[in-house]
Structure 1
């Protein structure tokens, strides 16, 4: 029988800590949330490898290192509300929920959203919900948000999503240019988001955030 708890500890010790992620809330969350329960059964054995897991339809589970470093840069506190875009089966939402006051995950696939909500209930993430709807529209009815995090590659961001970020709020996403990607952290001040490069990473571009998407920016 696979010892997933041991694999989870190894993931943190060999992937997270060596990436200069040392904040206790992040380490604690990644040790506590059972990642193997947030992937399709066929991927369970690969749940703790250092690679991202592609789930189809452009959706993925980011590398543990990438997610941890994004959370580290965002520095979520326990009185903040987080919007988690494209969490697939809910892993990132469950992890963020251990740091935030409330996390709203947005999934457009109804079946996946239902499974994600079920996974969150099983994980006792009582301060997390899954909203079903287009990724690019976010979930304005639950906002505005202190933090937005996108679980996949982006080429363009719609105003409709950035409008849901509070003043002085932060956003993290993997900006892709061809095969190269950079995680950028944005901070909103007076209705304008200022970006800084945080670290290199890559992820499949989410269809809703591709350059071909018809956004009116």
Structure 2
């Protein structure tokens, strides 16, 4: 008899997601895989959607807000070569899942969530999962949180039109931003750097992600 997702306990469902979705699709960073294995994704999904917690699709958690699909998040993190002593800024973590995964990879995570209700949910979820090295702050996404920086890594959970200069300037030397950039309507998972005032963008892979409000590309005037 085949085992259905309903018959699996949360740990088994998580492992099934890793074995069936992540490992066959170029998620090769062992630290990232181990971190994901330690976080119960189901704990961060609204009650009415727990049955689809482990499918490879974005999950709606509030109006215009979605959790990144598991594969997109895992692949993004795999490209970052994350070191345990790095300070990470997690932008728009919604219910806290991305922050929980990051908490297993680094010593300290600062998470900013501008939706007050979601920030409270994330705080509770992370406490329940004993992610004690994450600080969740109710603050504006596109402004970052300079007073807690500079950061070695910034993760933006969603598709954005542009990276605000305010965020770029919160990076350490050698720091990087992981995000999904909107390029003519197509999502491109990207690793962004900022050195001596110059932004560099490395396209990693195509990704489907819902648009995150507040990251509009600035209009350039032509004279």
SS at structure 2 position matched to 1:153? strand
State the 1:178 CA deviation.
4.8
State the 1:157 CA deviation.
1.7
State the 1:103 CA deviation.
0.7
State the 1:208 CA deviation.
1.1
Contact kept in structure 2, 1:167 and 1:190, CA below 8 Å: no
Task: Tell me which stretches of 4 or more aligned residues in structure 1 moved more than 4 Å.
Answer: none
SS at structure 1 position matched to 2:182? strand
Contact kept in structure 1, 2:61 and 2:95, CA below 8 Å: no
State the 1:54 CA deviation.
2.2
SS at structure 1 position matched to 2:193? strand
- Identify unmatched segments of 5+ residues in structure 1: none
SS at structure 2 position matched to 1:150? strand
Compare 129-138 and 202-211 and name the one that shifted more. 202-211
Distance 2:77 2:135 in 1: 19
- Identify unmatched segments of 5+ residues in structure 2: 1-5
Structure 1 residue corresponding to 2:166, chosen from 160, 175, 189: 160
Larger radius of gyration: 2
Match runs of 1:167-182 below 5 Å:
167-182=173-188
Match runs of 1:197-212 below 5 Å:
197-211=203-217
What does the per-residue CA deviation read over 1:17-38, in whole Å, with 9 as the maximum and x for residues that have no partner? Answer: 1111122211111111010111
Structure 2 residue corresponding to 1:98, chosen from 90, 98, 104: 104
Determine whether 1:124 maps to 2:130: yes
Distance 2:107 2:197 in 1: 24
User: What does residue 151 of structure 1 align with?
Assistant: 157
SS at structure 1 position matched to 2:105? coil
The CA RMSD over aligned residues, in Å, is 1.7
SS at structure 1 position matched to 2:172? strand
Distance 1:188 1:41 in 2: 40
